[in-house]
Amino acid sequence: MPECEICGEESDKLIKCKSCGAKFCEDCGSVIEKRCEFCAEEEIDDDLVEDLDEDLIEGVEKDEE
Ligand SMILES: [Zn+2]
Ligand SMILES: [Zn+2]
């Protein structure tokens, strides 16, 4: 069974990150966005940090769980 490159857990459902190419399990990134948790954080920093304060960014992350 393939292993998640983020947490090392075996999973039969791995998603390939479209930003860095890492294969990750459902717990380690956004299945819909196809980004691992590291790249998802970078995306928020690049695009949203200008307009949103830290409290709102935390809210966005919670929505994805
Ligand atoms: Zn994982
Ligand atoms: Zn990634």
> In this predicted model, what pLDDT tens digit does every residue of 3-34 receive, in sequence order?
999 999 999 999 999 999 999 999 999 999 99
- The CA distance from 37 to 39, in Å, is 6
The pTM score is: 0.62
Is position 22 within any domain? yes
* CA angle in degrees (0–180, nearest 5) for 6-18-42: 70
**pLDDT tens sequence across 34-51:** 999 999 877 555 555 556
Share of the chain above pLDDT 90, in %: 58
Residues lining ligand 1 (ion), CB within 5 A? Answer: 4, 6-7, 25, 28
Residue 10 lies in a domain: no
Domain-located, residue 7: no
Ligand at minimal distance from the CA of 4 is: 1
Q: How far is the centre of ligand 1, averaged over its atoms, from the C-alpha of 23 (Å)?
A: 9
The verdict on residue 26 lying in a domain is yes
pLDDT at 59: 59
What's the CA-to-centroid distance between 51 and ligand 1, angstroms? 30
Helix, strand, or coil (residue 26) = helix
How many domains in the chain? 1
Residue 2 domain flag: no
For residue 52, pLDDT over 60 is answered with no
Q: Would residue 54 count as lying in a domain? A: yes
Give the range of the structural domain holding residue 40, as residue numbers without chain letter: 15-64
Ligand 1 centre from 25 Cα, in Å?
A: 4
Assigned domain for 55 exists: yes
In a domain, 53, yes or no: yes
Q: Are strands 35-36 and 15-16 parallel, antiparallel or unpaired?
A: unpaired
